Amino acid sequence: MPHDEVESISVSVFKATCLGVLKKVQETGRPILVTRRGNPVVQIGPPPVSPPAAHWLGSMRNQGHILGDIVSPLDEHWEGVED
């Protein structure tokens, strides 16, 4: 069978070997067409690949903005500061 041709099986064979067919699709990643009297009924294929979940570290990168000078001393006197 050429690599890009979809394998097909009859609905009666699928019914008798369902778990094996599902395992084959999972292992090979190739879809299988189920037919009834030669007509396509359903195509069984692997699920879409989900992107990996983003890690929480760095998830807020580029979200903060500095609004003023954060280095120079304050001109205000704080009650908790002793001179």
- Domain for residue 29, yes or no? yes
* Spatial separation of the C-alpha atoms in residues 40 and 4, rounded to whole Å: 17
CATH of the domain at 21: 3.40.1620
- Domain for residue 49, yes or no? no
CB of 44 closer than 8 Å to CB of 25: yes
- Domain for residue 15, yes or no? yes
- Domain for residue 19, yes or no? yes
Summarised one tens digit per residue, pLDDT across range 73-83 is 777 777 776 65
Q: What is the pLDDT of residue 32?
A: 97
Residues spanned by the domain of 18 = 7-44
The DSSP bridge partners found for residue 42 are 34
* Spatial separation of the C-alpha atoms in residues 6 and 42, rounded to whole Å: 12
Number of domains in the chain: 1
**What's the predicted TM-score (pTM) here?**
0.56
Summarised one tens digit per residue, pLDDT across range 17-60 is 999 999 999 999 999 999 999 999 999 999 988 887 778 888 88
- Domain for residue 79, yes or no? no
| b/e burial code for range 30-63 (CB count within 10 A of at least 16 → b) | eebbbbeeeeeeeeeeeeeeeeeeeeeeeeeeee
Q: What is the pLDDT of residue 42?
A: 96
- Domain for residue 21, yes or no? yes
- Domain for residue 55, yes or no? no
